[in-house]
Amino acid sequence: MGIKTLGGKQYWTDRLVVSGYRVQEHVRFGRVRVLGPDDRRLHTGTSRHEARAVFEAEVPRPQCARRHLVVLLHGYGGSATSMNALRDAARAGGFAAEALNYPSYFRNVEEVVSSVAAAVVDSATYRGDISTVSLVGFSMGGLVARSVVTRLAQLRNAPRIGRIATIGTPHRGSPIAALAGWLTPIGGPNIVELQEANRRELSAPNVRFGVVGGSGHTNGWTLLGAVGDGDGVVELSSSVIPGAEDKLVARRVKHAKLPADPTVVAGVVRYLDTGRFGAPQ
């Protein structure tokens, strides 16, 4: 059965994820491991080839009638488990869906793009039935998703891109990150990535994307005037940007709760299916 892993998720990046089974690589020491859906270690070593062999012996190749994989990316300091509500709802909607882990502390957005893009392609290829991939990113995960889509568009073996949905993503930066910029040596390089001064634009051409933002949440930051209207961390003007196919505004939901909020979860799955967060009129 293996031993359940004890934390350390910020040090491991997913290389292949199917049905909750994971091949992971340590971002500093190059070790590899295979985890089951309950995070129990099935294999630990230094050879990717051995890890892949263990994975293939354990994991059947599932089938998805829709041939559509939804990849979910957590936010800064988070892990794949924070996206479980969205993953489960997407699966209930007929999609293949997997939540990926990536090292949000120790690698900046551009540094994790290659490994995440490779994990997306390998996970889709392993299944053998995927023709379309959509990405859902929470907070910093939305920035990662945007860059990953750009990378996938450059790869010959990548599936077709469906849609991107970003949730509470600081497309135009977060004032909290700007205030905490001096913590970069402790919090890692992505403190800079998330600063208000870092204004990123969606660079992948012809990609349909939808945005979810929060509004009306109050906390210490908003009461002090450090953060304007939003989810208490990311302002609505930063998370909801022009050019989106559709938008959803979650009222009085705190930033960390957005990926599990029932209205957000239902809206995102509907958006992936129809291009609209709300029910058809």
CB 145 within 8 A of CB 120: no
Q: What is the pTM of this model?
A: 0.90
Residue 4 has which token pair? 């359940």
**Residues 48-82: tens digit of each pLDDT:** 999 999 999 999 999 999 999 999 999 988 899 99
Give me the count of residues in the chain.
281
Task: Decide if pLDDT at 203 tops 80.
Answer: no
**Residues 102-138: tens digit of each pLDDT:** 988 766 677 788 889 999 999 999 999 999 999 999 9
| Residue 246 vs residues 25, 77, 112, 170: alpha-carbon distances, Å | 36, 28, 27, 17
Write down the pLDDT at residue 205.
59
Domain limits of the chain?
9-58, 68-274
Residue 161 has which token pair? 């891109």
Write down the pLDDT at residue 74.
95
Write down the pLDDT at residue 154.
85
Write down the pLDDT at residue 60.
94
Residue 57 has which token pair? 């012996």
Any idea which residue has 């939003």 for tokens? 230
Q: What is the 3-state secondary structure (H, E, C) of the chain?
A: CCCECCCCHHHEEEEEEECCEEEEEECCCCCEEEECCCCEEEEEECCHHHHHHHHHHHCCCCCCCCCEEEEEECCCCCCHHHHHHHHHHHHHCCCEEEEECCCCCCCCHHHHHHHHHHHHHHHHHHHCCCCEEEEEEECHHHHHHHHHHHHHCCCCCCCEEEEEEEECCCCCCEHHHHHCHHHHHHHCCHHHHCECCCCCCCCCCCCEEEEEEEECCCCHHHHCCCCCCECCCCEHHHHCCCCCCEEEEEECCCHHHHHHCHHHHHHHHHHHHHCCCCCCC
Task: Decide if pLDDT at 41 tops 70.
Answer: yes
CB 212 within 8 A of CB 253: no
CB 210 within 8 A of CB 240: no
Backbone phi, psi, residue 2, to 5°: 85, 170
Residue 12 has which token pair? 């491991």
Other C-beta atoms lying within 10 Å of the C-beta of residue 150: 17
Task: Decide if pLDDT at 177 tops 70.
Answer: no
- The superfamily in CATH containing domain 68-274 is Alpha/Beta hydrolase fold, catalytic domain (3.40.50.1820)
